[in-house]
């Protein structure tokens, strides 16, 4: 029970990584509040977590809006008494060449992936400071570490920004007992890749030293470590989980 009696907020709660992370957290003794703008996806995630129903709550909202994130924090405190952990999984991808990318597509990805991460962190920090304890784990991407096929500049910039935000926050919040780290996943076998043609899936595997796509569970295991007290002296780090693509 590596997270016994901990309370966590996970944004992007309807997504693959969030669901896998929530399940690992719950199995390890945590209570979890899932936050997402998509009520239908949240409902699907909840159906897969029914055995933990007493320890899972959901809030529908927009991670770009501080009022919505504050409501999630308030709900977590009301239901579970505190907020120990934040995992920022909310994110979108709109990949296309720069000369074909409308400004609004650039901005939407930046707003959700980067500004949304900032807003989520901003919402939880006051209560974590008050309790002199916190674990923040931001989901970045291999696309924020190096150039990759099928990665748009908007996505790369947003995920690189998440890394910069993570490092700066780690420096700022360490004296308050709060660690801040990031996980940078490589290509995953998830909901999105299941819509890809076989040739595109094979292209994603090029360069992998462990010759398979990752799974959401691979990422959740890394998040669990960083959220636990086993990582109490780890902060400002980016944990690359990508089968050896980025060495």
pLDDT tens track for 121-140: 999 999 999 999 999 999 99
Can you give the pLDDT at residue 203? Answer: 87
Q: Which CATH class is domain 7-238?
A: alpha beta
- Return the active site residues: 155
- Residue 95 is predicted with a pLDDT of 92
CB 80 within 8 A of CB 7: yes
DSSP 8-state secondary structure symbol assigned to residue 112: I
Write the pLDDT tens digit of every residue in 189-233.
988 787 778 888 888 899 999 999 999 999 999 999 999 999 999
Give pLDDT, residue 25.
99
What is the model's pLDDT at position 150? 79
Alpha-carbon distance values, 194 to 40, 184, 190, 197 (Å): 19, 20, 6, 8
Question: CB under 8 Å to 172, separation ≥6 — which residues?
Answer: none
Contact (Cβ atoms closer than 8 angstroms) between residue 86 and residue 136: yes
Continuous H helices in 2-65: 16-27, 39-48
pTM: 0.97
């Amino acid at each position: 029970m590596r997270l016994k009696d901990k309370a966590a907020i996970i944004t992007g709660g309807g997504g693959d990584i969030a669901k896998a992370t929530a399940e690992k957290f719950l199995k390890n003794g945590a209570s979890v509040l899932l936050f997402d703008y998509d009520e239908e996806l949240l409902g699907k995630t909840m159906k897969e977590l029914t055995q933990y129903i007493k320890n899972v709550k959901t809030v529908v909202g927009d991670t770009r809006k501080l009022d919505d994130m504050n409501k999630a924090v308030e709900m977590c405190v009301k239901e579970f008494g505190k907020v120990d952990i934040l995992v920022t999984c909310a994110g979108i991808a709109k990949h296309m060449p720069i000369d074909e990318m409308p400004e609004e597509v650039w901005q939407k990805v930046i707003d959700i992936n980067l500004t949304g991460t900032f807003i989520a962190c901003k919402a939880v920090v006051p209560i974590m400071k008050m309790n002199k304890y916190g674990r923040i784990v931001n989901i970045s991407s291999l696309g924020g570490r190096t150039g990759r096929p099928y990665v748009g500049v908007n996505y790369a910039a947003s995920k690189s920004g998440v890394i910069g935000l993570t490092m700066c926050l780690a420096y700022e919040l360490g004296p308050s007992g709060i660690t801040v780290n990031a996980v940078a996943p490589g290509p995953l076998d998830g909901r999105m890749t299941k819509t890809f043609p076989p040739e595109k899936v094979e292209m994603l595997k090029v360069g992998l030293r462990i010759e398979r796509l990752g799974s959401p569970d691979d990422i959740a295991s890394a998040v669990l470590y960083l959220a636990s007290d086993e990582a109490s002296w780890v902060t400002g780090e980016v944990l690359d989980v990508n089968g050896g693509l980025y060495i």
